[in-house]
Amino acid sequence: MPIKVTCQQCQKTLKAPEKLAGKRVRCPACQEVVQVPAMARPELDDDFFADPEPQSTRKARPEADPEFDWSEPLDNRDVSKSEGEFDNVDNLPTLPVAPRKKPKKRSDPDLAFVSSAGVEESSRSSSGRKRTSRALPLSTSGGLGYWHWILLVGMLPLAISIFIPMPPFIDRLQPLVEKDPTILDRLVALESRDQFNEFVASLPDGRIPGAHLARKTFVHWVYALLSAGAFLGLILVMFPGANVAPGKLLLYGVITGTVGIVLLLGFQYVAEFTQGIHLRRVRGIVGLLFYLVKFIGFSYRCATDGETGFALSFLGFTCGVGLCEELCKALPVAFYLAANRDVNWRTACVLGLASGIGFGVSEGIMYSADYYNGFSGGLTYLVRFASCVTLHAVWASSVALLMYNNQDYLPGHADAGWDALLSFVVFYLGIAMILHGLYDTLLKQHLEIAAMGIAAGSFGWWAWQLYQQD
């Protein structure tokens, strides 16, 4: 006999088979978890053993169902359909779906009831590729809250820097030239960046006027540690249901900040090395990979060349910088999701944040040592260790959520191939690459306000994905 149960979320009355008694299932209308009551044992009283009511005194059966012949024995009737009970739980038809504010894209519309114990269900995507979806564990069904909006504070230094620009280098050097005219002659005679760095280090206090730190210093490492600790602590507060130990978040941040950066630098070196080489006889996969790397190297040159226009700069920052950096941040999370199919979306989200934070902090260390120390003001360090880390974290976490929701192209998939590799870049990294490339291009073209708009749009895209999950 089917068990009637009412969904507390959409108030829809459902009928579950007896085999689901005492279990937790999902409402087919709103996907809310519903507790099916356990079957109660009937209590027998004295009236149960009394003689049955005489046939003559029985009342007429009200509104007999015309589909059944009530003169037949009850055992011969197929009453399961009329009662709403179905023999196979996995083939239950979908009940009419009521409007809901936050649809859950990962639910399978062909299942009316799904166990909430994290059981994996397989279906086929529109392209025919096998797609793996997972039921959301009960421990993460709470509200999202508003803690994630705190990350917007990290954007404030970037916004402030738009209205408080740093004076040009030559203007800041002018007080020193007035005291020692030979400084200008020494500056003109410099032939390499190493000589320029030594020149700055030889100045009073080892920096030009207005610079926050001396050229030779390790203070920027302290800023890096403070930035990493603050961001990692913040994401633990924002997503308490992620079920990820702080040590694991730190590990993934360190992996991306070390191995990922080394991988990025090595790839850049190989891409630059291929620029003067042309292959004539090599074909197939090897030739395709060679010219792909060669194109990425060309993109890097377009991005770093100060003479290129907006279109070529955007191509370079998207297909060169954006592709390589977003790929380095996404790979650790992709391998983790491929190996752990039972995690929830919050886990994927915070791992993406940790990977982006590790990359952003490591990049800040390199930029400080190469470009900022001895030259830049304190606001530049705030932008690099706060705003830029926030952007890298948001982009990496957005990619992680895309990978979690559609795992067709993760490493180790049964249908993985060259087409899956291309799909990995297009479907997972595509949006982040474009936002990353457009942001860098606008800064290169001195369109800081437009770049700030891209940064805000990147955060909005990430927040939108969060609300789609919860």
User: Other C-beta atoms within 10 Å of 251: how many?
Assistant: 14
For the chain, the average pLDDT equals 75
* Residue 267 predicted with pLDDT over 80: no
Q: Which of these ranges, 126-130, 210-214, 239-243, 331-335, has the smallest mean pLDDT?
A: 126-130
pLDDT of residue 409: 85
Phi, psi of 66 (to 5 degrees): -65, -15
Q: Which of these ranges, 18-22, 172-176, 337-341, has the smallest mean pLDDT?
A: 18-22
Closest CA to 19 of 95, 113, 138: 113
CB 465 within 8 A of CB 401: yes
pLDDT of residue 19: 74
Q: Cα separation of 72 and 13, whole Å?
A: 30
Residue with tokens 């909006």: 149
| pLDDT tens for each residue of 55-84 | 444 444 444 444 434 334 434 434 333 333
Confidence of residue 6 (pLDDT cuts 50, 70, 90): confident
* Residue 111 predicted with pLDDT over 70: no
Q: Cα separation of 256 and 262, whole Å?
A: 9
Q: Which H/E stretch holds residue 261? A: helix 261-273
pLDDT of residue 73: 41
Q: Which of these ranges, 15-19, 57-61, 71-75, 464-468, has the smallest mean pLDDT?
A: 71-75
- Which residues partner with 159 through β-bridges? none
* Residue 432 predicted with pLDDT over 70: yes
pLDDT of residue 398: 96
User: Domains of the chain: which residue ranges?
Assistant: 1-40+65-116, 147-165+211-469
Q: Which of these ranges, 139-153, 249-263, 376-390, has the smallest mean pLDDT?
A: 139-153
CB 124 within 8 A of CB 131: yes
Residue with tokens 């089917």: 2
* Residue 449 predicted with pLDDT over 70: yes
Confidence of residue 125 (pLDDT cuts 50, 70, 90): very low
Confidence of residue 31 (pLDDT cuts 50, 70, 90): confident
Closest CA to 273 of 254, 252, 296: 296
Which pTM was predicted? 0.67
Whole-Å CA distances, 322 to 299, 361, 400, 435, 437: 10, 17, 16, 8, 6
Confidence of residue 144 (pLDDT cuts 50, 70, 90): low
Please compute the mean of the pLDDT values over residues 80-104 and round it to a whole number: 42
The better pLDDT of the pair 112, 186 is held by 186
Give CA angle at 77 (63, 68), nearest 5°: 30
What is the Cβ-side half-sphere exposure of residue 418, based on CA atoms within 13 angstroms?
5
pLDDT of residue 382: 95
Confidence of residue 278 (pLDDT cuts 50, 70, 90): low
Q: Which of these ranges, 204-218, 267-281, 358-372, 386-400, has the smallest mean pLDDT?
A: 267-281
* Residue 106 predicted with pLDDT over 50: no
The better pLDDT of the pair 444, 419 is held by 444
Q: Which of these ranges, 38-52, 173-187, 406-420, 428-442, has the smallest mean pLDDT?
A: 38-52
Confidence of residue 271 (pLDDT cuts 50, 70, 90): low
Closest CA to 243 of 128, 364, 388, 345: 345
Confidence of residue 242 (pLDDT cuts 50, 70, 90): confident
CB 397 within 8 A of CB 239: no
Please compute the mean of the pLDDT values over residues 393-401 and round it to a whole number: 95
Residue with tokens 């950066």: 261
21 exposure class (CB count in 10 Å sphere: 0-12, 13-18, 19+):
middle
Name the percent of the chain lying above pLDDT 90: 28
Confidence of residue 442 (pLDDT cuts 50, 70, 90): very high
pLDDT of residue 88: 42
* Residue 235 predicted with pLDDT over 50: yes
